[in-house]
Chain A
Amino acid sequence: MTLLLETLKPYLLPLIRVLVVFLGISLIVAYLVYAERKILAHLQVRLGPMRVGPHGLLQPIADGLKLLLKEDIMPAGADKGVFLLAPVISVIAAFTAFSLIPFAPNFYITDVNVGLLFLIGISSLGILGIILGGWASNSHYPLLGALRSTAQLVSYEVALGFALVSALLLAGTLSMVAIVEAQQRQGVWFVFLQPVAFFILFVAAIAETNRNPFDLPEAESELVAGFHTEYSGFRFSLYFLAEYAAMILVSSIAVTLFLGGWLRPFARVRALDFLDFTPVAVLVLAAAWCFRECFRYPATREWRWQRLLLLGLGVGALGISAGLLLPARFLPGGGEGLPAFPALTAIQGVFWFMSKVFLFLFGFIWFRGTFPRYRFDQLMSLGWHFMIPVAIANVIFCSLAIVLSRQMGWGLPATLWLGTAATLLVAALLRREKA
């Protein structure tokens, strides 16, 4: 038995990590949909889901069940094998990429020295699922959707790639973990050195994930549902899962490359160390909200389970925050060599990483509530005539700035800002030319 455990040990830990990441991402996707519906609803002077569970908190579970139980319909003329396989490809691509995302200094599935390259490769594979799905449906609307997404994703991948290169130039490595460490070492998030690259990455990320204002492949008012018009039930939910997982993925990449990954804001400022307690504050606020809502529900029988659920959530949140605040000296053995609050320290990385990712995701949702949709030709023109030239200019000026600062001994940030100014000049010229 011990021997078996010893033999399995090298595989067990990664397996557990894979499971945690897989289930965690699936859960986040489910509640991201809920968050999207809620945020959009409040932007649009309505309430959003309110019926299933208190404030609709159980809506994602109900939706998931509904999708699983729905009939799986396949068009008569569809290319069977490809039709069945396409959504699976999308999901696999989206989830595989998470194996390279460092959620915390010691919490990632794997770290390879060509990490970013692998990420770009695997995320391009997800497009294949969309194209094949649209093609295999053998129907006009999915075909047009697939056509659009092919052109759109391929062209924005170029800009995305160049934006990533700018970050690589600063980090000097392709390993995702090392990129964050480089930001830690240099004491500045790359977004402040490379704002243009960050902006391009953000816009390209929206385009890559087919989100508004670039949601042409599934433009509801034009193409009904785009490439997944003919999909239903579980297969549709796979596409859905892949799309939202991809949203989290691109946000994670952007956070890792430009927003310091797992690093706390102002990680080096001792005076702001109280920020370490933010997770506790968030949990306590959540608990307070739960308790308040619990008492706002009518105290009648039909609302009892809703109130109990809220109460349970509130108590749970309080319990977790208490656990986080458990001092090391209360641990068995007096907590020798452990930080003052071991649990709190342990979740710091994941907490800040996820907070930044959610900031990004909020941006995605906000955009969806604000912008109209681009037209296909305008999207292409924006990509090829503006984004890609600016991205290339940025790479050129950025590398020039790095070389200059090394040769002349100038400060790196100042030189890079000079490069950024030059890039912005190019961007302004491009805009004027167009007008």
Chain B
Amino acid sequence: MAQPQDISTTVLGADEIILNMGPQHPATHGVLRVKLKLDGEKVIGSECIIGYLHRGVEKIGENRSYPQFAPYVDRTDYVAAVSNGLGYCEAVERLLGVEAPPRARWVRTILTELQRIASHLLWLGTHALDIGAITPVFYTFREREEILKIFEKYCGARLTTHAFRIGGLQYETYDGFEEDVKKFCRDFEEKVDEYGELLTENRIWVERTRNVGILTAQDAIDLGVTGPVLRGSGVRWDIRKAFPYAAYAQFEFDIPIGERGDTYDRYLVRMEEMRQARRIILQAVDSIPEGPILARVGKVIKPPPGEVYHSIEAPKGELGYYIVSDGTIQPYRLRIRPPSFINLEAFDKMVRGHLVADVVAIIGTLDIVLGEVDR
């Protein structure tokens, strides 16, 4: 384990400088601040300073009723709001002891997988931008736009969707939902190959990402990282398979893993995840069952006293909600396990010995969202 240290108080050698990156730096994906101890351009120490976007979301949760809090979770990982909503709603449902009806679960699966693609597209565009390829971001945003349009048609919002409701869905799907989703999937197949053409075989891209930010499987497990970062290190761990939720048990899909645990492997893993997400969506959209969209949960959500930890495979890793209920309409304690925050722990380990240019590649490959890190 890398020992955390306050690098600003350590004695500097003659050739060493402290470089402050952020919180207003173009490549820190929001308001992450990194202090780097450099020897020339080589990183010999790093310290992440977070909290610039802290809004006290968990504390707010203790002062809102269960349905009232649902829109707040959209604003943690704000580029994957649908996934956040799914995790929260399912956690409360487990506390209540109800299960969403099949139709709701199917639609939830489709929307969360669309959200996974949208989140990965954003990651791909910004990651490539950090490494200097300025064009892919516009292509990925073009496709992300199609997904956001589907969200918009479904629930009226594009970013902070609040798409689900405790016990099922907020809204019935609109006319033509299936066609829109199918059309997106049809177009997306060749689009994802197009990004690959720009990057996968590109010599500069490969040189910039191969053997950069290596995280061994053991280190990854020790540090508790999850999601594509963990799978890039070769650990086949995906909550959709391990503890199936929503309707994932019904569908066939593969869990891509990497071999070396470097930035290129994580890139390949996420690219393949987008293809697998498309596969899941296509299976789900053809088999949406008829029926109600909301379970009988009552007008006032008042779970019995108890506690629950429920986690889902969000685009960035294991997103968990730990809720303690004291039998009132508000949670007694609400804790979010944010994948970005815990994946960021691996940053120092990955960055040591690399150059400044690799720092931005590693921040990009961790795919952090500061709204989720700071909450």
Contacts and interface: CB of A to CB of B under 8 A. Distances in A.
B204 interface: yes
Contacts of B357: 216, 219, 222, 373, 375-376
Contacts of A369: 134-135
Contact of A374 (B25, B40, B204): B204
B138 A221 contact: no
B356 A144 contact: yes
Contact of A45 (B19, B142, B207): B142
Contacts of B360: 221-222
Contact of A221 (B40, B129, B205): B129
Given A140-B17, A375-B357, A377-B355, A215 B138 contact: no
A228 B360 CA distance: 20
A223 B19 CA distance: 10
Contacts of A216: 357
A155 interface: no
Contacts of B134: 40, 44, 212, 368-369
Contacts of A44: 134-135, 138-139
B208 A375 contact: yes
A44 B129 CA distance: 13
B41 interface: yes
B217 interface: no
Contacts of B139: 44-45
Nearest to B19: A140
B201 to A, nearest CB: 12
A215 B132 CA distance: 9
A375 B358 contact: yes
A377 B40 CA distance: 12
A220 interface: yes
Interface string A32-51: 00000000100111100000
Interface string B341-364: 000000000000001111110000
Interface string A49-86: 00000000000000000000000000000000000000
Given A213-B132, A219-B132, A221-B129, A372 B355 contact: no
Interface string A147-178: 11000000000000000000000000000000
A355 interface: no
Interface in A221-237: 221-224
Interface size class of B (residues with CB under 8 A): 20 to 34
Nearest to A220: B26
Contact of A223 (B20, B204, B205, B356): B356
A212 B132 CA distance: 8
A370 B198 contact: yes
Interface residues of A, number: 31
B308 interface: no
B336 interface: no
B57 interface: no
Contacts of A46: 138
Nearest to B358: A375
A221 B26 contact: yes
A46 B139 CA distance: 10
A224 B204 contact: no
A150 to B, nearest CB: 12
Contacts of A147: 40-41
A372 B204 contact: yes
A364 to B, nearest CB: 14
Residue from B142, B357, B358 whose CB has the most chain A CB atoms within 10 Å: B357
Contacts, number: 87
Contacts of A40: 134-135
Nearest to B198: A370
A82 B129 CA distance: 33
Given A144-B356, A220-B26, A221-B360, A372 B133 contact: yes
A151 to B, nearest CB: 10
B136 to A, nearest CB: 9
B133 A375 contact: no
B196 to A, nearest CB: 14
A280 B204 CA distance: 42
A378 interface: yes
Contacts of B19: 140-141, 144
A371 interface: yes
Interface in B110-146: 128-135, 138-139, 142
Nearest to A148: B41
A377 B41 CA distance: 10
A386 to B, nearest CB: 12
Contacts of B218: none
Residue from A40, A45, A371 whose CB has the most chain B CB atoms within 10 Å: A371
Contacts of B250: none
A327 to B, nearest CB: 48
Residue from B17, B40, B355, B356 whose CB has the most chain A CB atoms within 10 Å: B356
Contacts of A373: 131-133, 204, 208, 357
B132 A376 contact: no
Contacts of B295: none
A147 B199 CA distance: 29
A311 B342 CA distance: 61
Contacts of B355: 375-377
**Those 7 A-B pairs whose CB atoms lie nearest each other, nearest first:** A373-B132, A44-B138, A221-B27, A372-B133, A221-B130, A372-B132, A372-B131
24 contacts: A40-B134, A40-B135, A45-B138, A45-B142, A147-B41, A148-B41, A212-B132, A213-B132, A215-B132, A221-B26, A221-B130, A221-B360, A222-B356, A222-B359, A223-B356, A224-B26, A368-B134, A369-B135, A371-B133, A372-B128, A373-B132, A375-B208, A376-B41, A377-B355
Interface of A: 40, 43-46, 140-141, 144, 147-148, 212-213, 215-216, 219-224, 368-378
Interface of B: 17, 19-20, 25-27, 40-41, 128-135, 138-139, 142, 198-199, 202, 204-205, 207-208, 355-360
